[in-house]
Structure 1
Amino acid sequence: MITPSRLGGAERYAGWFCRWQKDSGHKSIIAMKRNPAVEAFYRGLDLDVRIVGISGKVNIFASGRLRALIRQEQVDIVHTHLSSATVWGCLAAIGENLPCVAHVHSLNKRAPYSFASKVIAVSEAAKAHLVRQGHKEAGIEVVWPANADPPGDAEPAADLVSLGPLVITCAAHLRESKGVLVLLRAAKKVIEEIPSTIIAFAGEGPERWKAEKMAKQFGIEHNVRFLGFRTDIHAVFAASRVAVLPSLAPEGFGLVLAEANALGIPAVASNVGGVSEIIEDGKNGILVPAGDVDALASAILQLLKDEELWLRFSKMAKEKSREFSFEKSALDCMNVFQNLTKSK
């Protein structure tokens, strides 16, 4: 069960995991509120998608609708993603005497997850955040997410290749907490030193218009590209020199950093939340304080100017990315399910 507002990391992982379950011989149904982009992604994976009115945390019909679906399909276990789905999924599961596993993809408030039989957190940071709020540590398993589509030898995106070899890519939802404007301020400093640098934003969001306006104010609009939402993220990173995630708020994990590392692309990222579980400072990337424009610009310039450093980080990035196996991630989730159904 999932209540998506956009096609982000949580939504992608939920779809990949359901596809893996289907390929492994399990019956998996996605119950979700209506969202055309996410629904299309799931149907593209050939998943059984049911649109159910479960949006919002004040919805007197949501639990009943889910209970009806559970009975109709003879469900054995409920797996929820995102907070509203967790509220209604847990209530429905309790009503039907079923276990409910709640997947925590960010540093959330504890309340929606209080009634879950088990919580799966995407990072040690996400787990620690819940424990600090009073959630029992034994009730949380950490399972790192991963991309189900290995990058292989991804062909670089042609539209980025044409821009030259110094493309800095930020793949994120363009909202304030992702540090979009911080990156542009840093980009101004980088471009002053290396005028051929291109800053590419892969994603959409409410900060885009502010970012476009700022780029013009700084006189760097010809060095900035807004790519929109991209489904070819491997190709985008394959054409990039550096991946950047300048988040201002704690990240639950930061899947795009692992995706970039899998292609040998070093990253510069804010040292927030679970990011340090992917990026080891000085090994496969550089961590900087959130919101520090000078530190961000300096780190990017290091990786643009120092070829030996870039090559060393690139090698370590590929090695680190092997820790993020989708097969292991899926099996670890299934182990949680099986332990709950055995004890039922």
Structure 2
Amino acid sequence: MPNKQILLISRNMPPLIGGMERLMQNTANILDKHYSVTVIAPKGASAHLPDHIHVHELPTSPIFFILLSIPLALWLAGKTKYHLVIGGSGVMAPVIALVQKIFKCRGVVFVHGLDIIANNAVYQAIFVRALRHIDTLIANSNNTKALAVATGINESKIHIIHPGTNLPNIDKAKSREYLDQKYALQNKKILLSVGRITPRKGLKEFVQNAMPALCQHDNDIILLVAGDHPNQGLTKSAKLPTEIAAISFELGIQDSIIFLGSISDDELSHCYAGADCLIFPLINIPGDVEGFGMVAIEAAAHGTPTIAFDEGGVSDAVVSGQSGHLIPAGKYDGITDALSQLLIKKEKDWENACRSHAKSFSWANFGSALLHILDA
């Protein structure tokens, strides 16, 4: 059994669903191979982690999780001499800072972008202030690092590690056949949107400003929307899917958009592999940001390119000409042009280039970078 003891505290952990949750689950799995790991996580997390990790489960409610994690972390740290205490996001900064100070152990916090600039005075006064006292921060992109430095965090404390991805062995032709049969998409050109439907994702604006022209240019275009509104976390936008559907009816393009809602990982994998292109039309929202753009890496891992607006940290995730196209933010006519270029290039060329791009974001590479920082 490894000698070093680690306490990992994160509400972002399965059974909750999302990119941050996958990141923290894989982080726990990586740490488990090298350290003795204790985890404080939401109810149900133990079923998604190795059996011999010590898991303490708390309610999934953000407020209750944060409040209850403080006494639990202090109690655990009082019993065990931890080498490292790690927080899964900026919301864990106060408890990490407290344990770090009282028990003289090294504190580490992952930051993702929104957890730095969340537009809330109380959050900024307590959580971001606590981040300034953490020994080591791990940012998911260059943009997130810049946001952290702008808040007064010492740049020397911040390390960039891009989130990892799996590299699936999947047949794109079979996935396309699956989508064709399930949604009657034969001979259609499939655009895909993936992720929680929040304002910064820009899906509403994309449907308003780009879809009519795209459909006029090619009436065989279909947009699949995989994801629903977030019901927990720092942002909520329950009305957006309904608003987007209403706009599509007003514009007469409702038959060109299919809302899939929340789907299984297997279904999502088929969507990634079977689509012609992922669209990622981010917009600038004060107090909100796309920290990295994990869906673009996941699409690339399935051999599918991305067309994205160059907002937030997405420039770390998409390389124009290799894994898709980055378009200046707000240039909706640029999406039409980029899509035309993308469809002209041979499908196999995109598949090979995208998969090559995704290889540098493997979980093995993520783990090596993480261990190098933690063992420094």
Work out whether residues 56 and 84 of structure 1, in 8 Å CA contact, stay in contact via their aligned partners in 2: no
Partner of 2:195: 172
8 Å CA contact 1:160–1:167 kept in 2: the answer is no
Partner of 2:121: none
Match of 2:108 among 59, 82, 101: 101
- Tell me how far 1:234 sits from its aligned partner: 2.4
Matches within 5 A, 1:277-292: 277-292=316-331
Does the Cα contact within 8 Å between 2:11 and 2:41 map onto a contact in 1?
A: yes
Q: Deviations over 1:71-91 (max 9, x none)?
A: 345533111122222222222
Deviates more, 1:65-74 or 1:315-324: 65-74
Tell me: CA distance 1:268–1:52, structure 2 relative to 1, closer, same or farther (3 Å): same
Report if the CA contact (8 A) 2:110-2:137 is conserved.
yes
Amino acid at match of 2:308: A
Inter-partner Cα distance in structure 2 for 1:177 and 1:187: 18
Equivalent pairs, count: 330
Compared CA separation, residues 43 and 190, structure 1 to 2 (3 A): same
Structure 2 spans left out of the alignment, 5+ residues: 1-8, 118-127, 230-237
Instruction: Flag the 1:21–1:241 CA change in 2: closer, same or farther, 3 A.
Output: same
Give the alignment partner of residue 48 of structure 2, picking from 44, 48, 51.
Answer: 44
Taking the aligned partners of 2:319 and 2:159, their CA distance within structure 1 comes to 22
Match of 1:243 in 2: 278
Runs of 4+ with deviation above 6 angstroms: 57-60
Letter in 2 for 1:326: W
Q: CA deviation at 1:136?
A: 1.7
Match of 1:210 among 243, 267, 292: 243
Report deviation, 1:134.
2.5
Shift of 1:66: 1.6
Aligned residue number for residue 206 of structure 2: 183
Please report how far the alpha carbon of residue 157 of structure 1 lies from its aligned counterpart in structure 2 after TM superposition. Answer: 6.9
Counterpart of 1:13 in structure 2: which amino acid?
Answer: L
Amino acid at match of 2:29: R
Q: Quick one: which amino acid aligns to residue 148 of structure 2?
A: L
- Spell out, residue by residue over 1:304-334, the C-alpha distance to the aligned partner (whole angstroms, 9 max, x if none): 3x144x5544332222112112111112112
- Which of 252, 274, 299 is matched with 2:313 structurally? 274
1:15 matched to 2:54 = no
- What is the letter of the counterpart of residue 89 of structure 2? L
The residue number in structure 1 matching 2:334 is 295
Contact 2:178 2:270 in 1 (8 A): no
Which residue in 2 is equivalent to 1:65? 72
Counterpart secondary structure, 2:175: coil
Say if 1:212 and 1:69 are closer, same or farther in 2 by CA, change over 3 A.
Answer: farther
Q: 1:143 aligns with which of 145, 161, 166?
A: 161
In 1, the alpha carbon distance for the partners of 2:167 and 2:251 equals: 38
Distance 1:118 1:152, change over 3 A: same
Ranges in structure 1 where 5+ consecutive residues have no aligned partner? 340-344
Per mean C-alpha deviation after superposition, the further-off stretch among 238-247 and 163-172 is 163-172
Q: Structure 1 counterpart of 2:37, which letter?
A: S
CA contact (8 A) 2:167 2:359 kept: no
Task: Check conservation: 1:171, 1:256, Cα contact below 8 A.
Answer: yes
Q: Percent identity among equivalent residues?
A: 21
Structure-2 separation of matches of 1:89 and 1:307: 49
State the secondary structure of the residue aligned to 2:162: coil
Q: After TM superposition, list the pairs within 5 Å mapping 1:289-328 onto structure 2.
A: 289-304=328-343, 306-308=344-346, 311-328=348-365
TM-score (norm 2): 0.79
Aligned Cα root-mean-square deviation (Å): 2.6
How far 1:142 sits from its partner (Å)? 0.9
Residue 156 (structure 1) aligned with residue 191 (structure 2): no
Q: Say which is worse superposed, 68-77 or 118-127, in terms of deviation.
A: 68-77
Q: Point out the more displaced range, 197-206 or 74-83.
A: 74-83
Q: CA deviation at 1:93?
A: 2.9
SS at match of 1:28: strand
In the TM superposition, what are the counterparts of 1:103-118 in structure 2 within 5 Å?
Answer: 103-106=110-113, 108-109=116-117, 110-118=128-136
